[in-house]
Structure 1
Amino acid sequence: MIDLRFGPQVCGDVAAGTAREWLVTDGLGGYATGTVGGLRTRRYHGLLVVAGETPASRRVGLVSLDAALLFPSGARVRLGAHEWASGDVDPRGFELLERFDLTDGLPRWRWRVGDVVVERELAMTHGRPCVAVVHRLVSGGPVRLDLAAVCTWRDAHGERRADGPDPRVEPAPGGAVIESAFRLAGPDWTPQGQWWLGAHHREEAARGLNPDEDLWYAGRFSGELARPGDTVSVLAWAGDLAQEPPPATEVVAAARARNRRVVAAAKPADPVEATLALAADAFVVDTATGPDVVAGYPWFGAWSRDTMISYEGLFLCTNRADEGRELLRAYAATLSEGMLANTADTGRVEYNTVDATLWFLHAVSRHVTVTGDTDLGDELLPALHGVVDAHVVGTRFGIAVDPADGLLTQGGTPGTALTWMDARVYGVPVTPRTGKPVEVNALWVNGLAGLAELTELAGRDAGELWRLHGRAAAAFRARFPAPTGWLHDVLDAPAPAYPLGGAAQHDDDLLRPNQLLAWSLPNAPLEPDEPTLRRIAAGLLTPLGPRSLSPDSPEFVGRHRGGPAERDGAYHQGTVWPWLLGPYADAARRAKMSVDDLFVGIEAHLTEYGLGSVSETADGLAPHGATGCPFQAWSVAEVLRVRRTGR
């Protein structure tokens, strides 16, 4: 594992300490997360955030445990940290931190007050919504430790106000039950019951969202730290409230041991791969239907496109193929009219992507190729043939094979954005990409070849699949190269001067990274092309990955910042996407280009934003500040995959 350790100059500075976030997960979609300095900057920050029926339907429970040291002299020193709507930051316990470290994936804070040093460790129980917080006296003492339990019970995407009903707090052995939803247990519980008004989240303010909420001070735990080695611990858990978890110190020890096993099972080649392997573990969750993938923390749930792009990195590169097999089987069961369900964060099962199903074909093919699991290939073969048949005759949203050239077209429905570039502003797609997108057709050519190979492995005739593949590949090679020296992003798109469905069409030659799949996929339609890839790199490549649009385009937006409309407008108009390092590295290697230095920036990034993980996005302009989710599945998965396959 790489060294993730920060001293007082980072921990004690508001800006530096809040720029870096940590994450611990429970294997169910719930988590604990916050900043290095302990100041909550997001509505999603908390010590017990519980997943509901889906990973996306989370609720925040235990917000914080505000520590205070009581000395024999009567002096009281507060170690917590909050920002308020007034602009005040009080208390400022981060100024007493001498170190924060992330060891075996678990956060640890170390406060010093004179000769008294206290450490806090935090862990969650895998497979249960339970957090354990252990405080240990390292030196000095005696001293008494008070822990204020600051609580709420609300949707993770919202806030709760004091003008509503007070949270219900009922006594329970060693503590209390809050809202009949989660339980607190620790030493010497004293009920309180008081609203703390106007807690402020600076990151939500920066994102143009409501930044303030009110918090409930439910009560206080207290314990004596008489000599070095003494501990004071608190547990918080949801689910079966009557079943008490193991002691907090055992929860921490078990989590540390499990994280080490996860890393060892992945057989990493170096500390960076070890760090990425543990980061990957956070996204693999157990649900009522079996294994699934959280697209990103702290706000995303499961999305089929993200899951399938991430599949090889999360499952095959970490020796979790058995879990992956069950996931692929479960997703296959959602196929309808040849399309994979996109179980979005709305909680509804929607069929609204043109590429998720094609990524599914790719994931199944890679699973069988890497593992030799031909039984799964045979089992899913009828469903996969059904996908191709449905696309040939046509399915939802005008998705169909064009009989004129064998390429796949999509769109024709106003307001739809079906590719991965699917952002909307006030309901209007920013990049509808109606027509024949380049990566969709690269995936189509790749999927047909992969399915043909699976069909032949099963001893069946694949002649028709190879015919479809040959025709589509030939049309791809003939039509996608543009006079600009790279590939068209979309063919047969509605001309800008015409409404959707108008007679006039054009071929969009904006420089975007989607074309990388034309060289990167196992059965890519194009041969390696170093000059073209160098042109693409010159226009798009940054230290954290390719931009989504070249800076010389009039539509380029260099900062992924501001309110929802501003951010969505920039999302695919120049914003950097680290997951695209995967396709770029594959394409470059096939062209015999060196990528030895490609990951220097992203490896340094592991210490800059979501600690030990890779962000969703970054600004298109220097210094390429990270944006979006600090912990993103496909970013981690693709970086891990291409580093491993490059060995």
Structure 2
Amino acid sequence: MINFVNPKYESLSDKEWIVTNGIGGYASCSLSGANTRRYHGLLVASLNPPTQRVLLVSKVEEKVVVNDQTFELSANQFQHAINPNGYQYLTNFERFPFPKTVYKNTNFSLSKTVFMVYEQNTTVVEYKNTGKKPIAIKVDIFLIHRDHHGNMRENQHTNFYTESQEGFLKTYAYFDANPLFTKHEGTFIGHPNWYKNFVYEKEQSRGLDPVEDTFKIGYVEIPLEAGQQTHLIFSTEESAMQTDGFNLKKTESDRYESLRQTDDCFLNDLLVSGDQFIVERKSTESHSIIAGYHWFTDWGRDSMIAMRGLCIDTGKQEVCKSILKTFLNYLDAGMLPNRFPDSPGDEIEYNTIDATLWLFVVLYEYHQTFKDDEFIKNAFDRLSEIIHFHKTQTRYDIHETPEGFIFGGQGIAQLTWMDARIGDFVVTPRHGCPVEIQALWYNALKTYQYFQQHLNLDNAEIDSVNNSLQRFETNFVPFFFNEKGYLNDVVLPTTSADDTLRCNQIYAVSLPFSVLNHGQQKQVLDVITEKLLTPFGLRTLETLHPDFKPTYGGDVWSRDMAYHQGTVWPFLISEYTEAYCKVYGLNPQSKAHIESLVGLLKNHFYNADCIGGVSEIFDGLAPQQGKGTIQQAWSVSALIRIMYMLQKS
């Protein structure tokens, strides 16, 4: 719980919360009650799960009436003012199991809790009179109807025609639109009007259009005796109007409680947080993983990396199989999809060199955890197909070199995770043989060899794989281990080597199979510890490099120029801890070191930025405030992996 004394708008508006519904939809807002992002809203529905997300309910604004006095609890930012100033009544906020805000003064005490119904585009807002006097609340309802990436301004096309029926409202944003349903337990008074020029501070800081208009359809007035509760239910489904807020909350509370698997409160809260990313994908009728909220959908690379902590370590075998089967079914020319389309008519994208290789790491860890020989047997032919295409050639000139390395790159395509590109300008060009791709390729070959031997499978590729392993093990250190004591970032065999000091080399130590000996692993780890390690993750570039960007922010150009040029990524902290334990063992000293690394991220999780979430990135020089997405799948996954590692020790 976060307690507030003399709360300030600036501090509260920097903190956010998000709840999700398991199909890509969400509700999110700042703690101040003001929407500070275009993505903030009480109901962002996913109409083609987990994509096609549409913002339908912008917000509700509460007024408490006691003894003919009215207290406004909401807040909004306009160009020259904050109005109202309801945040002054905020006394505490707690995130688990649901976001709950308490407003209080000498006249009243009111709690507001928000949650979503699992696998429905339905948001429930619960109010409880926690004071000793009877009160009345007036709840203004502000609607919107747009893609969640956009902004809306007053227009003649959308008039939010509302029909008031027994206990609920039916609102059409425009003629022939699908209706929004609102269940209430009070009296609705229609007062349709546009409210203009809300300013979204976070969008302004990102160099995007920060101004929006929303439509107030009216307000609901509800009397509340001391201790009494009431619910507002917003939904795209009329059947939700027949449900009860108390029962919906009980169902969701029970579901969340079932996610809490351990005696460690922090790990339990991470498990609840991590569940937000696991979604149903309608087009494939399977599970998938949202890369990050608010703006990412599901990506191949992110899914492979994140599912290690979100699904394998948590024992969700059926979810793992569902995700893996989907990606294997869409294997094409030996490559997994990088991104499934947002719209039904769009093509699947295969522009990644690493997502496919991550599949082998995931399958190895899946098998180590679940001992599922049958699943591996059924997938083995697809693994052979991947090996074949990577050894010969597939998209983007991806192929094996005579040295046993994997080469990739063509035109302006960005194939590794360092994929920032602004128009035709490539920020981090890495055509050739990137170091983490070689680490992943080595693990793919070793995993393939392990499966073949463990399952005693006859396969024509195994002699070729053994030959590749021999060449790789002979050539990797001479080509990649430089005289400065760390690994080159990208090599063009017989041509050049880029010795830029980046975090990517951590994978040559952290992954299940390492080609480096113990001494070489220690050298690499020690350089990373000295030059790249921060309390929030690893820097993407050393601070002394001329291209290093100390801060991440500003417009699209400024942000993308800094994205992988020093910016700290917390998801890499689990790779660092894996490497650290390989080199030093998991003894009391190393355990204390790892726990100290987790400490600031734990504080970030509970008290900063997205409460109950982990940000995508942090500034490179002096990381403090979270940047990028407020809740990133592989960031949460990394902490789950570390906490399970510590627990097992």
Report the TM-score when normalising by structure 1: 0.93
The corresponding residue for 1:49 is 44
CA distance in 2, matches of 1:58, 1:52: 6
Q: Does 1:249 align with 2:246?
A: yes
Corresponding pairs, count: 622
Q: Quick check: 2:66–2:108 contact (8 Å CA) kept in 1?
A: no
TM-superposed deviation, 1:296: 0.3
Q: Quick check: 2:122–2:240 contact (8 Å CA) kept in 1?
A: no
SS where residue 638 of structure 2 aligns? helix
Q: Does 1:28 align with 2:23?
A: yes
TM-superposed deviation, 1:306: 0.2
The corresponding residue for 1:496 is none
TM-superposed deviation, 1:164: 4.4
Q: Does 1:280 align with 2:274?
A: yes
Query: Which residues in structure 2 correspond to 1:505-520 (within 5 Å)?
Result: 505-520=495-510
TM-superposed deviation, 1:344: 5.0
SS where residue 557 of structure 2 aligns? helix
Q: Does 1:447 align with 2:444?
A: yes
User: Do the aligned partners of residues 245 and 433 (structure 1) sit closer, same or farther apart at CA in structure 2, a change above 3 Å counting?
Assistant: farther
CA distance in 2, matches of 1:246, 1:6: 33
CA distance in 2, matches of 1:591, 1:573: 27
TM-superposed deviation, 1:54: 4.2
CA distance in 1, matches of 2:463, 2:270: 41
Paired amino acid for 2:488? H
Deviations 1:578-637 (A, max 9, x none): 011111111111111623322122112112111122110000121432100110000111
CA distance in 2, matches of 1:509, 1:168: 59
Q: Does 1:60 align with 2:52?
A: no
Q: Quick check: 2:506–2:524 contact (8 Å CA) kept in 1?
A: no
CA distance in 1, matches of 2:368, 2:464: 22
SS where residue 343 of structure 1 aligns? coil
Q: Quick check: 1:426–1:565 contact (8 Å CA) kept in 2?
A: no
Query: Which residues in structure 2 correspond to 1:228-377 (within 5 Å)?
Result: 228-238=226-236, 240-244=237-241, 246-264=243-261, 268-288=262-282, 289=284, 290-344=286-340, 347=343, 348=346, 349-377=348-376
The corresponding residue for 1:89 is 82
TM-superposed deviation, 1:71: 2.4
TM-superposed deviation, 1:363: 1.1
The corresponding residue for 2:426 is 429
Query: Which residues of structure 2 form unaligned runs of 5+?
Result: none
Q: Does 1:398 align with 2:397?
A: yes
Q: Quick check: 2:259–2:268 contact (8 Å CA) kept in 1?
A: no
Q: Quick check: 1:54–1:301 contact (8 Å CA) kept in 2?
A: no
RMSD between aligned alpha carbons?
1.6
TM-superposed deviation, 1:475: 1.8
Deviations 1:102-154 (A, max 9, x none): 122x0111111323111111111111111111111111322211100101010
CA distance in 2, matches of 1:93, 1:243: 30
SS where residue 192 of structure 2 aligns? strand
Query: Which residues in structure 2 correspond to 1:461-476 (within 5 Å)?
Result: 461=458, 462-476=462-476
The corresponding residue for 1:481 is 481
TM-superposed deviation, 1:323: 1.1
Query: Which residues in structure 2 correspond to 1:482-631 (within 5 Å)?
Result: 482-492=482-492, 505-528=495-518, 529-592=521-584, 594=590, 595-596=593-594, 597-606=596-605, 607-631=607-631
Q: Quick check: 1:122–1:252 contact (8 Å CA) kept in 2?
A: no
The corresponding residue for 2:181 is 183
- Stretch moving more, 348-357 or 270-279: 270-279
CA distance in 2, matches of 1:543, 1:345: 36
CA distance in 2, matches of 1:479, 1:54: 45
TM-superposed deviation, 1:5: 2.2
> Which of 80, 104, 116 is equivalent to 1:112?
104
Moved over 3 A (4+): 344-348, 461-464
Deviations 1:214-245 (A, max 9, x none): 000012111101x211123210011x324535
Q: Quick check: 1:123–1:251 contact (8 Å CA) kept in 2?
A: no
CA distance in 2, matches of 1:116, 1:209: 39
TM-superposed deviation, 1:563: 0.4
Q: Quick check: 1:433–1:490 contact (8 Å CA) kept in 2?
A: yes
CA distance in 1, matches of 2:443, 2:359: 11
The corresponding residue for 1:501 is none
User: Do the aligned partners of residues 386 and 583 (structure 1) sit closer, same or farther apart at CA in structure 2, a change above 3 Å counting?
Assistant: same
Q: Does 1:147 align with 2:142?
A: no
TM-superposed deviation, 1:318: 1.6
The corresponding residue for 1:498 is none
TM-superposed deviation, 1:207: 0.3
TM-superposed deviation, 1:491: 0.2
Deviations 1:158-179 (A, max 9, x none): 0111034233323153222233
SS where residue 322 of structure 1 aligns? helix
Query: Which residues in structure 2 correspond to 1:122-161 (within 5 Å)?
Result: 122-161=114-153
SS where residue 342 of structure 1 aligns? coil
SS where residue 176 of structure 1 aligns? strand
CA distance in 2, matches of 1:599, 1:145: 42
SS where residue 52 of structure 1 aligns? strand
The corresponding residue for 1:14 is 9
> Which of 94, 106, 119 is equivalent to 1:101?
94
Q: Quick check: 1:176–1:185 contact (8 Å CA) kept in 2?
A: no
Q: Quick check: 2:486–2:523 contact (8 Å CA) kept in 1?
A: no
- Stretch moving more, 599-608 or 550-559: 599-608
CA distance in 1, matches of 2:192, 2:67: 27
CA distance in 2, matches of 1:538, 1:123: 43
The corresponding residue for 1:497 is none
TM-superposed deviation, 1:468: 2.0
CA distance in 2, matches of 1:616, 1:368: 29
Deviations 1:77-115 (A, max 9, x none): 11111111x2211011111111111122x0111111323
Paired amino acid for 1:598? L
